[in-house]
Amino acid sequence: MRCVIQRIRDGKVYVNGETAGKAGHGLLILCGFTEGDTADTADYMASRIVKMRIFPDENGKLNKSLLDERGDALIVSNFTLYADCAHGTRPDFSKAAKREVSLPVYNRFVESMSAFVHTETGVFGEHMELEIYSDGPITVVFDK
């Protein structure tokens, strides 16, 4: 599982022009899945992400987590995170898990994040448009 985590002040994800999910102060989490990812992988990632210290404390040092901030999570599935661009000019997405593998892990990840913080999502497998107000910018790539 791979997540690109971005600290945001506000974010929305649209599907067919309609708002599918939104978040205020918190994190935008783009997530992709590969063969071998399981419910345990999703649980591990959720518990680590909510504790990741990427919010500033009163001294400006990155010492606070999403839990400390009582922030929101906006989760967007993104199979292109497993793109292999090593050869040619067209990325190879063969390392991305098929829907039958990735959808249950995605659902578990959303469920696990929801146990910690307010969580909203896009729509798995759909074309989505993102509107975000990035904060920092702080962006972290996290793999398991």
What are the mean pLDDT values of the chain's consecutive 10-residue runs (144 residues total)? 98 97 98 97 98 97 98 97 94 95 98 98 97 96 95
Strand partners, 7: 27
Specify the CATH architecture of the domain 2-143.
3-Layer(bba) Sandwich (3.50)
* Predicted pLDDT of residue 26: 98
* Predicted pLDDT of residue 38: 97
The CB-based long-range contact list for 122-126 (8 Å cut-off, 24+ gap) reads: 122/13, 122/15, 122/20, 122/21, 122/75, 122/76, 122/77, 123/15, 123/20, 124/77, 125/77, 125/99, 126/15, 126/16, 126/20
Buried b (16+ CB within 10 A) or exposed e, 87-112: eeeeeeeeebbeeebbeebbebbbeb
* Predicted pLDDT of residue 31: 98
| d(C-alpha 102, C-alpha 104), whole Å | 6
Residue with tokens 């759909």: 126
